[in-house]
Structure 1
Amino acid sequence: MLEEPLTGGNANAGVVRVGDTVRRPAGPWTPAVHALLAHLDAVGYRAAPRPLGIDEQGREVLTFAPGATVWPERFPLLDPADRLARVARLIRAFHDAVAGFTPPEDARWNAMIPADGAEIIAHHDLAPWNLVVEEAADTWTFIDWDLAAPGTRLWDLAWAALGFVPLSGNPAFRRADRDAAARLRLFADAYGLDDEEERRALVPLLPQRALAMYDFLKSSHAAGSQPWARLWEEGHGDAWLGHADYAAERAELWTQALLD
C-alpha cells in the first residue's frame, strides 16, 4: 500500500500513514508502550491509538487517528468552556485507566523529562500538538505515546494546563489574567482535582514543568541532540523560560482561583 509521510510535530522523521495505520520507527521503549496502549484499549479508553505490532521493516504499527491536531491552526477550537472541560475529562479518564496497568518486568521507557515520582505511567506530553480531533465523527485522540514513562498525575496535569488553558508567556496566546485563572479552575474542576492539598501542589508544578522543558532543550543543544538542539536555536528555550516566569509570577492568582 502507498505510504503517506505525516508532517507536523518536531520528531516525526520516518512517520507515515499506510491505509488506516500509522508506521513509526520503533525504539527500545516500544514493547512497553504497546503494552500500555493494549491495556488502555482493553479497559475501554478510546482516546488513544491501538497497537498493531511491528511491520516487516521493524516499524511499530498503530491505528490511524482521523482528523487533525489542534495546534496551532485549530487551537481556537478549545476556546469554549465545554471543549476545555472535555480535554480535562479525557486526561482524568486516562489516569484512572492507567492506574490498573502493570508494566512488563523488562519495561524500558523513553523518559525525556523524568518526573519526581512514579505514581502512574504518565503520557508526559498531553498537549494541543498531540490532540487529534475529528469533528464529523466527534473523536478526540491523544497521540505520540513514545514519551510515556513513570510519573505522577499532577506532573501530567501541570503540563496539560500550560498548553490547553493556556498559561502562556507568549503575548500572542496569553489570556487576560482573570480569564486564564478561571480557565485553570475549570480545567481542575473538570479533571476532578477535588483535594485542596493537590490543588495547592499543582500551582508550583506549573512553572517547574515549563522550566524542566527549558533545561531539557538547553542540555540537548549542548549535546547536539536533534531535533531538540534545533528547537533551542529557534528560540524555544527562551519561550519556555518565559512560560515558567509567567506562571511563577501569578502563583498567588492561580492558588486563589483553585481554592475559592
Structure 2
Amino acid sequence: MFIPANGADIIAHHDLAPWNLVADGDHGWVFIDWDGAGPGTRLWDVAYALHGFVPLSAHPTWRRTDAAIRLRIFADAYGLDEAQRHQLVPLLSRRTRATHDFLRTQAIDGVQPWARLWDEGHGDAWLSDAEYIEQYEQLWVGALVS
C-alpha cells in the first residue's frame, strides 16, 4: 500500500485508473496492477478513481467541460448516499495531493519507478490537478448533492 487512507473498511486497490483497466475479451473489463492493494476506505479509492475516470485534471488535453456531470454519474452509479457525497468532496483534492506528496518523497529517496515518474513531471501534474480540484470545489459539491 503506497498511500494509506484514514481508516480501513475494505481492501482497496489504491490505483483505480484507466491505465489499470483492460478488456477481458467479450466478458467485460478487469482491473490489473493490484500490487498496491491494502486496507483503505471506499471513498479514498473512489476519490482516486474519479481523478482518472472523470477525469479531474487541469491538463488541457484531459480537462473536460462535462466533468461535473461525469462526477455525478459516477457517484450515482456507485450508489453513494448524500453523506458520502459530502465526505467525498474534500477527499478529491486530498487524495490527488497525496499522490503528489508520495511521488516527491519517493523521488527524494531515489525509489524507482517513482523517482523516474517525478523526473518526467508526474509530480507537477498531480499538484496542478489538486489545485484545479480545489479551485472548482463548489462545482463538485453542486454536482454531487444537488
TM-score, with length taken from structure 2: 0.97
- Offset, 1:201: 0.8
What RMSD in Å do the two structures reach over aligned CA positions? Answer: 0.9
- Offset, 1:137: 1.1
Count matched residues: 146
Provide the secondary structure at the position in 1 that maps to 2:58: coil
Aligned partners of 1:192, 1:139: CA distance in 2, in Å? 20
Deviations 1:13-60 (A, max 9, x none): xxxxxxxxxxxxxxxxxxxxxxxxxxxxxxxxxxxxxxxxxxxxxxxx
- Offset, 1:133: 1.4
- Offset, 1:220: 0.5
Aligned to 2:111: 225
Aligned partners of 1:250, 1:133: CA distance in 2, in Å? 33
Q: Residue type of the partner of 2:18?
A: P
Q: Residue type of the partner of 2:12?
A: A
Aligned to 1:191: 78
Structure (1/2) with the larger strand percentage: 1
Aligned to 1:139: 28
Aligned partners of 2:97, 2:145: CA distance in 1, in Å? 24
- Offset, 1:208: 0.6
Structure 2 residue 7 is the aligned partner of structure 1 residue 117: yes
Structure 2 residue 51 is the aligned partner of structure 1 residue 165: no
In structure 2, runs of 5+ residues without a counterpart are: none
Aligned partners of 1:205, 1:171: CA distance in 2, in Å? 23
TM-score, with length taken from structure 1: 0.55
Aligned partners of 1:186, 1:223: CA distance in 2, in Å? 39
- Offset, 1:191: 0.5
Structure (1/2) with the larger helix percentage: 2
Provide the secondary structure at the position in 2 that maps to 1:132: strand
Q: Residue type of the partner of 2:6?
A: D
Aligned to 1:48: none
Q: Which runs of 4+ in 1 moved over 3 A?
A: none
Higher relative contact order (CA 8 A, sep 6+): 2
